[in-house]
Chains A and B, each alone.
Chain A
Amino acid sequence: MNDNSEKVTITLDGQQVSVSKDLTILEAAEEYGIKIPRLCYHPDLSLMGSCRVCIVDVKNVGFYMAACSTKVWEGMVVQTNSPEIRQARRDIVELLLDNHPKACQTCERDGNCELQNLAYTLGVRDRLFEGERKHFPKDESGLSVIREPDKCILCGRCVRVCAEVQNVNNLSQHGRGFTTVVSPAHGANMDDSVCIQCGQCINVCPTAAFLEKDATDSVWEALADSSKHVVIQTAPSIRAAIGEGFGLEPGTACTNQMISSLRRLGFEAVFDTNFGADLTIMEESNEFLNRLANQGPLPMLTSCSPGWVNYLEKFYPSLIPNMSSCRSPMTMTSVLIKTYYAQKMGLNPKDIFVVAVMPCVAKKFEAKRPEHLMSPGMYYTDAVLTTREAIWMIKSYGIDNWTLPQMNFWNVQKDQFDSPLGMSTGAGDIFGTTGGVMEAALRTAAEKVTGKPADKLEFTEVRAVEGLREATVRLGDKELRVAVANGLNNARTILDKVVAGKEQFHLIEIMACPGGCIGGGGQPYPPHGIKVMDKELLAKRASALYAIDKKKTLRKSHENPEILTLYKEFLGEAGGPKAHELLHTHYSPRLPRGIIGDADVYMQNG
């Protein structure tokens, strides 16, 4: 908040207060501890003012005004609460509910639904206006994101996040009036549209109109099948967010509880995707230094974020040669489970069922890419669970108290990752947050370039907490121009510079979701009262990862002894033929081609 801005005096619920003239009524009230109920409003998105839940009574105006979209003015007299206002808000929510399925008990968002919460808070106890309801088919055909338009209340948050934060513009309201529906162009399913599967629409939806494609059934089934050897890997950012699902303070690292809970579910081994992250750095830094020595193609773009991979293929296919050919840490880990681990354990890869817990819904799509087939009909990764799904499975199993000191009762003792594919350095941990892949790569590249131990470990200049960073880093006598972006609208700023040839970068890290994986489309819905994409929430999750990194003695990927053994025993050289066959992939332009629009213009025009 800019304290130097001009102040105005308003009367807020009978009390004279001085507030900045740039504030809306909703923001001004919040400064004085009054939370006006809201639904379509999101502070990081453009204003829509469509739900009318935040109406307030402004003296001498003659109608109720939407607090989210009305700025304060000198002498304004606002009443945020009165029997009439409360009644009007309640009526509005009742009307929304009238066109909404009565399915709370069986809905995935039960207990975590903004509409449900709002209805309760506003005192809706009856459904008075029973009338005709809209009926649209549920679209479950997508591999990552599914739509259930019956639950949509047309608040437009998904449309706005897709356009303004992700610059994908895949969603729009179609039709009019009672038959209005939010969908991709021509009502296409998500996979056949320009959707990049990031899942931010799921996160911002106040109800359950968007959801991830469920994978829990297939995992339960595999766990119950005695002929299957079921193993699981967890992504770096899971440990930083999964605790929220168990009522723990955001930013509480829960590595041990997570591992022992998964073991109790019956997984025979729990591996760490961080191992794959360390391996990614080995391959990626090698690839990068090769490109640096052989003039390109530069800049090299990181390839860990599957939402970003989809965005590249649909929106910036001209930059495909710049993309690192490294498979993602998840897929690398899965590949090694079905090859290296299988060999070590004497298992047939066909009998292994690999589950991955990811902060991401796009990983579900990545897992089913034909490039990641091991043999016809068999993918390296068999099922991808989001953090939310993993929380649900663990709780549904009856494990819900993560603060118990005796978490390790029963016959399961281990709360550490299994070996091999379980040990990781701090460089792997920070993959889960923006700038982490870049920082990890720089830690290793610095030593490879100079040939001596690096004096610098923490590259705080690449931690792009505000969404976009450009920096110059020194590696020995080399100066590198690097850029880090999270959220694809930020990425676009950098990518446009690259396409236009305006500026020379060497290495660019892009993560599709705001804040990186910690803000992924599959992460827990924020605790009540905290908004999605909240910077503080993301900072807390990130700090958990940085704390783990700091505590580790090994913080550089190439120092991971298990990685070194892996190369010695199995892979050969980094970037060598076997590593190339198993750890690298390729990309191709994907249709429909996305159109890079100007989000602001569209939103202003409704």
Chain B
Amino acid sequence: MCTCKTDNLSDIERTSELSLGPEIVEYIKTICEGPHKESQLISVLHKVQQKYGYLSMENINAVAYLLKIPAAKVSGVATFYNFFRLQQPGKFKINVCLGTACYVKGANLIADRFKQELGIDFGETSKDAMFTLEIARCLGTCGLAPVVTIGKEVFSQVTPDQVPVLLDKFRKQ
């Protein structure tokens, strides 16, 4: 009789625990003891994103294995909600406001220029891991339209030609 160990579940669970870290593992264990663990999935994903800044493929799988919810389901939920990020965020987050006032003032052209300069789409991070490009829906400063925020700084009345200048400024930081 073959006595070789063919079950890999305990190894996978150990890797998953290492990936998520003790606090989240503990949190998942509490959830698994109670009823309706599947309805706590989103709160677990929130905790993971809070800790790591985004949901990596490894961590999505880890959550799936520890909560015993199929990975397709977890990745389905993670991709459904805009709040969840699936890529490591860059050093600076760029928010291009596409609210009505900014849009009327040509914010879409600014957005296009950012995409072109960085070679990425909304929600993505540039290859050098410096910038993540996001859409904002009105920052409440319509008088300054079109508005862009990079990191903690706010830029008003931005023109497309200023985009490369702004990026260079932050690259040097």
Contact = CB atoms under 8 A, between A and B. Distances in A.
B38 interface: yes
B88 to A, nearest CB: 15
Given A185-B60, A185-B75, A595 B70 contact: yes
Nearest to A183: B72
A297 B68 contact: no
B61 A601 contact: no
Contact of B1 (A186, A317, A319, A321): A321
Contacts of A170: 70, 72
Interface in B1-39: 1-4, 6-9, 12, 38-39
Contacts of B6: 317-321, 588-589
Contacts of A605: 38-39
A170 B75 CA distance: 11
A165 B73 CA distance: 16
Q: Is the interface of B mostly helix, strand, loop or mixed?
A: helix
A589 B8 contact: yes
Interface residue tally of chain A, by bracket? 35 or more
A597 interface: yes
A582 B4 CA distance: 23
Interface of B: 1-4, 6-9, 12, 38-39, 57, 60-61, 64-65, 68-76, 79-80
B65 A595 contact: yes
Contact of A184 (B3, B39, B72): B72
Nearest to B7: A318
Contacts of B4: 321
Contacts of A601: 38
Interface string A495-527: 000000000000000000000000000000000
Nearest to B86: A186
Nearest to A586: B2
A322 to B, nearest CB: 9
A186 B9 contact: no
Interface string A585-601: 00011011111110001
Contacts of B3: 321
Most A CB atoms within 10 A — which of B39, B65, B71?
Answer: B71
Top 8 A-B pairs, shortest CB-CB distance: A169-B70, A172-B76, A318-B7, A185-B71, A172-B72, A320-B6, A185-B75, A185-B72
A594 B73 CA distance: 12
B79 to A, nearest CB: 4
Given A321-B1, A605-B38, A169 B8 contact: no
A546 B4 CA distance: 40
A169 B72 contact: yes
B68 A597 contact: yes
Interface in A134-176: 163, 169-176
Contacts of B71: 185-186, 194, 592, 595
A602 B70 CA distance: 9
A597 B76 CA distance: 15
A174 B76 contact: yes
Contacts of A297: 1-2
B22 to A, nearest CB: 22
Interface string A560-602: 0000000000000000000000000000110111111100011
Contacts of A101: none
Given A174-B76, A595-B69, 4 more contacts: A169-B73, A185-B75, A297-B2, A321-B6
